[in-house]
Amino acid sequence: MSGFFLSGNSCPAVKNILILDSEGKRVAVKYYSDEWPTNSAKLAFEKSLFGRTLKSNARTEAEITIFDSNIVIYKFVQDLHFFITGGDDENELLLATVLQGLFDAIALRLRNTIDKREALENLDVIFLCIDEVVDQGMILETDANAIAGKVAIQNMDASATLSEQTISQALASAREHLTKTLLK
Partner 1 sequence: MAQPLVKKDDDRDDEVDYSPFLGIEKGAVLQEARVFNDPQLDPRRCSQVITKLLYLLNQGETFTKVEATEVFFAVTKLFQSRDMGLRRMVYVIIKELSPSADEVIIVTSSLMKDMTSKTDMYRANAIRVLCRITDGTLLTQIERYLKQAIVDKNPVVASAALVSGIHLLQTNPEIVKRWSNEVQEAVQSRAALVQFHALALLHQIRQNDRLAVNKLVSSLTRGSVRSPLAQCLLIRYTSQVIRESTNDTQTGDRPFYDFLEGCLRHKAEMVIFEAARAITELNGVTSRELTPAITVLQLFLSSSKPVLRFAAVRTLNKVAMSHPTAVTNCNIDMESLISDQNRSIATLAITTLLKTGNESSVDRLMKQITNFMSDIADEFKIVVVDAIRSLCLKFPLKHRSLMNFLSNILREEGGFEYKKAIVDSIVILIRDIPEAKESGLLHLCEFIEDCEFTYLSTQILHFLGIEGPKTSDPSKYIRYIYNRVHLENATVRAGAVSTLAKFGAMVDGLKPRIFVLLRRCLFDNDDEVRDRATLYLNTLGGDGAVVETDEGVKEFLFGSLDVPLVNLENSLKNYAFDINSVPKDVKTQPLAEKKATSKKPTGLGAPPPGPPSTVDAYEKLLSSIPEFASFGKLFKSSAPVELTEAETEYAVNVVKHIFDGHVVFQYNCRNTIPEQLLENVTVIVDASEAEEFAEVDSKPLRQLPYDSPGQTFVAFEKPEGVSAVGKFSNMLRFIVKEVDPSTGEAEDDGVEDEYQLEDLELVAADYMLKVGVSNFRNAWESMGVDFEHVDEYGLGPRDSLAEAVNAVINLLGMQPCEGTEVIPPNSRSHTCLLSGVYIGNVKVLVRLQFGLDGPKDVAMKLAVRSEDGTVSDAIHEIVASG
Under the rule (CB under 8 A), what is the footprint of partner 1?
3-4, 7, 9-12, 26, 28-29, 39, 42-43, 52, 56-57, 61-67, 69, 73, 91-94, 96-97, 116-117, 120-121, 123-124, 127-128, 131, 135-136, 138-143, 146, 150-151, 153-158, 161, 168-169, 172, 176
Binning the chain into helix, strand and coil, the percentages to the nearest 5 are 50, 20, 30
- Which lies closer to partner 1 via its Cβ, residue 111 or residue 172? 172
User: What distance in Å separates the CA atoms of residue 72 and residue 88, rounded to the nearest whole number?
Assistant: 9
d(CA 103, CA 126): 10
Please identify, using beta-carbon distances, which residue of 1 and 111 lies nearer to partner 1. Answer: 1
Nearest distance, CB of residue 184 and partner 1, angstroms: 15
Q: Which is nearer to partner 1, 112 or 124 (CB)?
A: 124
Minimum CB–partner distance for residue 169 and partner 1 (Å) = 7
Whole-angstrom CA distances from 162 to 59, 66, 156, 181 are: 46, 54, 10, 19
3-class SS at 103?
helix
Give the shortest CB-112-to-partner 1 separation in angstroms: 20
Residue 153 CB, nearest distance to partner 1 (Å)?
Answer: 4
Q: Which of 88, 44, 37 is nearest to 66 (CA)?
A: 88
Is 107 or 173 the residue whose CB approaches partner 1 more closely? 173
Instruction: Kindly tell me the burial class for residue 92, based on how many C-beta atoms sit within 10 Å of its own C-beta (0-12, 13-18, 19 or more).
Output: middle
Name the minimum Å distance from CB 25 to partner 1: 9
Q: Are 13 and 32 in contact (CB under 8 A)?
A: yes
